[in-house]
Structure 1
Amino acid sequence: MTGEQELKYTAEHEWVDADGDTATVGITAYAAARLGDIVYVELPGVGDEVTAGSVVGELESTKSVGELYAPVTGVVTEVNDEVASSPEVVNSDPFGAGWLLRVRITETPELLDHAAYQQLTGEA
């Protein structure tokens, strides 16, 4: 797993770890903290086509529901089944075991680097 400094980010609080033509996607610790205790995760299916910027799932917490946006365009190749049965792992390890999906990339829009994301969230 790439360190947080090397990841790319979206303004909607997703992180992207691109390795060749595959992107692993999750939500940031900032987003997980703002959502609160996550109790349910809805993800797209394997084989689904996703478009950068579109809603592809949701994360429900004890206090709100957050939408999951696709940070890249492509086809879902894998989803993290562990977060479906243990959604709290997204809160406890958002950059590791709490990853959400993997996408075979066909197009990558402009993404934020770590410094730009920190500036966006005011956590710089």
Structure 2
Amino acid sequence: MKNKFGLTKVWKKWLTVVFVVAVYHLLRDIFQEFFKLSFWFTDFLHFVPDKNALPRKLQWLLLDGYSQWLTFPVEIFLIWAVPKAWKKEYFATIDALVLTTVMVTETWWLLTVINYS
């Protein structure tokens, strides 16, 4: 049964951007964390937050250096979920999961990037 809130072209284009970013970020993480390589592909738009630059209340976001490993399951989920969402003609549960995952991840990222000094 088709939902009255149809999946628009804008939503599918946004999913394409999410997919490309997830693939890029996963490849970059593999090159950096496993192969210890650093070149233009791994350095493009890369940001390493300084724990001391964050306010004390936000330092827990970096999880003592383990936060970099949390991106792997998120990226793998997005790479799996976005093609499934592309196939739907309506806003389904998988779309809500993708949207929620991106919103939570980006909120976490913004809190670590923004300098509250």
Q: Per the shorter chain, which TM-score range?
A: under 0.3
> Greater relative contact order (Cα 8 A, min sep 6): structure 1 or 2?
2
Q: Which has the larger radius of gyration?
A: 2
- Which structure features the higher share of strand residues? 1
- Which structure features the higher share of helix residues? 2
Which TM-score applies when normalising by structure 2?
0.27
Which TM-score applies when normalising by structure 1?
0.26
